[in-house]
Structure 1
Amino acid sequence: METIRMAARHWDHLNPIALGDVAGAERYTLDRRDLTPDLWTEADVDVAETSFSRYIQARAAGDERVIALPIFVMRGFRHRCIITRADSPLDTAESLRGKRIGLTGWGDSGNTWTRAVLREAGVGVADTEWRVGALTADHPVMDRIGSIAVPDNVAATENDEPMMKMLERGALDAVMTPFMPPGFYESGSPFRTLFRNSQQAEAAYFTRVGFIPGIHLIGVRAELAENRRQLQELMDLFTTAKNISAARRNKLLDVTPWHNEALAATTQAIGQDWIPYGWSANKVMIDAFQTELVEQSIIGSCMEASELFPLQLEPSHQLEKVSS
């Protein structure tokens, strides 16, 4: 029996696959990575975690080597991803009009969703000054704009200066980042989130749009996608792993001493499953993301659903309680 080689970062909801705790996982191997794998260049990987934005850009350019499944392994609200100085008077998306904003990558899925927060508030790409670079001195110096044609108000940081240094000395008014810099949550930090209550802003956003933004998803090599039965098996493999992870998280994973309270608040606001898999649960979000990519001039036009997700798979079973 041929082994299917998979790669993804260390997501808790994928651990049951790596540990062999999912029935039928014997023919799969899961290489857990510190960095996102590259399905386009890694010949020894068949299935991998992939940037949603990169996937859409590739398909828009006519590159059909990878086909995505509606399995979004990374999701997240983005209001909390805008930070500013603790003494800044700025505290709304509207207040960033005309300001100088740094971000860690222009075409990244997460930053596209974060710019969407501003765009919803009437602050478009043309309404601010943008600088793209490394968050801190520990982050690699690299091209974070790529081949995307950007307007004149978007440029790389000068002399590769870390953006947190720029924010601290006033050269930037805010920074968009998926991960907070060291010490951000400590008492007396010189930085804070732009929204003084980001969770409240995110809950209101969910009420308006009905989804949590999808950032990374599972892609497969096109030749593997010829076997629909095998792809349905993959969908169910990831769904079962998520079920097992959820059941264990409810009992065994204490991320904070207030884990139960946080879990209850999330369930009441969003529901039991905030990482839904499958086409029908994600279609609205997928359409919204394509719209953002077009509005932000990252792709030229939206594609038909059949072009973007040729296989609009659904899980054979949804989130359920699984005994530990």
Structure 2
Amino acid sequence: MMKDYGHISPLVSGDVVPEGIDLVIERDSPNALDRTLSDTSIGAGELSLSRHLSRLAQGDASFVGIPVFPSRSFRHRCFFVRHDSKLESLEQLQGKRIGCNEWPATGNKWSRAALRHAGVRIEDIRWSVGSIDGAPSSRPQGILPAHVQAVTDKALLSMLLAGELDALMCPVPPKGFYVEGSPVIRLLRNFRQAEMNYYRDTGIFPIFHIVGVRREVYQRGP
């Protein structure tokens, strides 16, 4: 079970055939990660790295993670501010008010790692977690740290535009970002250079998702 990525198309089409494996790939972009866990007919599939590690820490070893990474990306591009904001660097987010869509999400963990790399103290930021555009979400937020508040009565984007937040941290640009004259812009105008600098400094190309194999399947044929 995988999301519908272009880079797995050769496996899906049969142009690339793995040796010794009878592989059938099902694609379900909206629900792939949840179905990997809930559908016992699926022997292996895409997993959130963060949630996989959390399950292991809680004693759930039902999946074996293997070093196949269907989703990975840098996160400096994932910070957004109002178009009239004077903020233009990660360092300037020290002590600010930031909204994000999920706290435990792997991508947001990497975003916080980018902030730490820039010298920003995560615990000094006033965090709000909720829906970016107001759409409902069924994903659990887990237990939030003391410096993080859950927002359930309004969209974080509207809070940004109203001046109640200084920035948003989210995996995709907020609604209306690509519209001409958008009130929202990226915090880092040259995010690509920032990401190259991060890789040069750390050697890290952030991993979001891994492939997990059900333990009973793994034990039959490791």
When normalised by structure 1's length, the TM-score is 0.64
Among 27, 31, 38, which residue is 1:32 paired with? 27
> What's the CA shift for 1:125?
2.3
SS of the residue corresponding to residue 40 of structure 2 reads coil
Give the aligned residue type for 2:158.
K
Work out whether 1:181 is the aligned partner of 2:174: yes
Which residues of 2 match residues 112-127 of structure 1 at below 5 A?
A: 112-127=109-124
Tell me the percent identity: 38
Counterpart Cα distance in 2 of 1:73 and 1:151: 29
Q: Which stretches in structure 1 are left out of the alignment for 5+ residues?
A: 1-6, 232-324
Give the aligned residue type for 1:217.
I
> What's the CA shift for 1:197?
0.9
The residue that corresponds to 1:43 in the other structure is: 40
The residue that corresponds to 1:16 in the other structure is: 10
SS of the residue corresponding to residue 95 of structure 1 reads helix
The residue that corresponds to 2:162 in the other structure is: 169
> What's the CA shift for 1:61?
1.4
Counterpart Cα distance in 1 of 2:211 and 2:16: 18
> What's the CA shift for 1:24?
4.5
SS of the residue corresponding to residue 64 of structure 1 reads coil
RMSD (Å) for aligned C-alpha atoms: 1.7
Counterpart Cα distance in 2 of 1:144 and 1:221: 23
Counterpart Cα distance in 1 of 2:214 and 2:43: 6
> What's the CA shift for 1:8?
0.6
User: What whole-Å deviation, never above 9, does each CA across 1:75-131 have from its counterpart, x for those lacking one?
Assistant: 011000011111101111121111111101100000000011111122222111111
The residue that corresponds to 1:154 in the other structure is: 148
Larger Rg: 1
Instruction: Give yes or no for contact 1:105–1:133 (8 Å, CA) kept in 2.
Output: yes
More helix by share: 1
When normalised by structure 2's length, the TM-score is 0.92
Instruction: Give yes or no for contact 2:133–2:175 (8 Å, CA) kept in 1.
Output: no
The residue that corresponds to 2:92 in the other structure is: 95
Counterpart Cα distance in 2 of 1:24 and 1:214: 23
Counterpart Cα distance in 1 of 2:128 and 2:97: 7
Work out whether 1:52 is the aligned partner of 2:45: no
- Count of matched residue positions in the alignment of Structure 1 and Structure 2: 219
> What's the CA shift for 1:140?
2.2
Counterpart Cα distance in 2 of 1:9 and 1:43: 17
Give the aligned residue type for 1:19.
S
Q: Which stretches in structure 2 are left out of the alignment for 5+ residues?
A: none
Q: Which has the higher contact order (CA 8 A, sep 6+)?
A: 2
Counterpart Cα distance in 1 of 2:119 and 2:70: 30
